[in-house]
Structure 1
Amino acid sequence: MRRDELLAMLERSVQEFNSWRKKNPDEEINLYGADLFEANLKGANLSRAFLYQARLATANLQGANLKGAYLREADLRMADLRGADLSGADLSGANLCGAKMDPATWNKMVRNLRSTVEIVDK
């Protein structure tokens, strides 16, 4: 699916997007540089999504599935990441200033960063 179609679907309804993802689990989610400023993405299944340089500042990502997402250089300032699953997500160079995270989300993110550092150090 084209990037503009994916963005339009996310804007209409996270439920619609998640339903589509369930039916198309192998479809690539390329949202490179997407402007999702203040977007309500609560509970969105963005696992393995390519969100390089995406603008997600002040977005609601509560409970979102961001497993394995590519979030390099993403703008996540003031984003609400409480309950989000960031396992295996690449957050290199991402701006997380003021982002809201609960302890579980923070711990998963830190574990992910540690494993990345261990790989680089080896």
Structure 2
Amino acid sequence: MLGRRDPQRDATTRIDLRSTCLHGAFLSNANLSDADLAAAHLDGADLRVADVDHANLRGADLEGAHLSDADLASADVRHADLAGANLRHAHLSFADLRGANLGGTQLDGADFRVADLEGADFGGADL
């Protein structure tokens, strides 16, 4: 177990996983809501249906990660590398994706409503 948070006792405590190596980790259905994953190495990780809303993923390596049906609403994904990631049906409403690399990603059905996409690279993405 990486960490645990008692929502009644630790309502304001963020799970701190900054710069953690989680390459290829199985985190499907995980609750990473509000977690600090800045500069974390999540390349190839399985985050399908994970709850990652309001999380800090700034500068994280998510290359080739599986994020289908994941909830990334209001997440900070600035300058993250999502190249080749599967974001099918992911919820990215209100997410901050400025400067993120989304090249070659699978995005069909992804929800980008009110997301900040300034400077994001969508080259070769499957929309």
- Which category describes the TM-score, using the shorter chain as reference length? 0.7 to 0.9
- Whole-Å separation in 1 of the counterparts to 2:16 and 2:97: 26
- Whole-Å separation in 2 of the counterparts to 1:33 and 1:63: 22
Aligned to 1:112: 105
Deviations 1:63-110 (A, max 9, x none): 0000000000000000000010000000000000000011x31xx326
TM-score (norm 2): 0.69
Deviations 1:7-60 (A, max 9, x none): 329x45434x33xx5xxx6xx410010000000000000000000000000000
Superposition misfits of 4+ residues, deviation over 4 angstroms: none
Give the direction of change, closer, same or farther, for the CA distance of 1:56–1:116 in structure 2 (3 Å limit): same
C-alpha RMSD over aligned residues: 2.1
The unaligned stretches of length 5 or more in structure 1 are 118-122
Give the direction of change, closer, same or farther, for the CA distance of 1:78–1:13 in structure 2 (3 Å limit): closer
TM-score (norm 1): 0.72
Q: Which amino acid aligns with 1:112?
A: T
Q: Which amino acid aligns with 1:54?
A: A
Q: Which amino acid aligns with 1:8?
A: G
Report how far residue 116 of structure 1 moved.
3.3
The unaligned stretches of length 5 or more in structure 2 are 5-14, 107-123
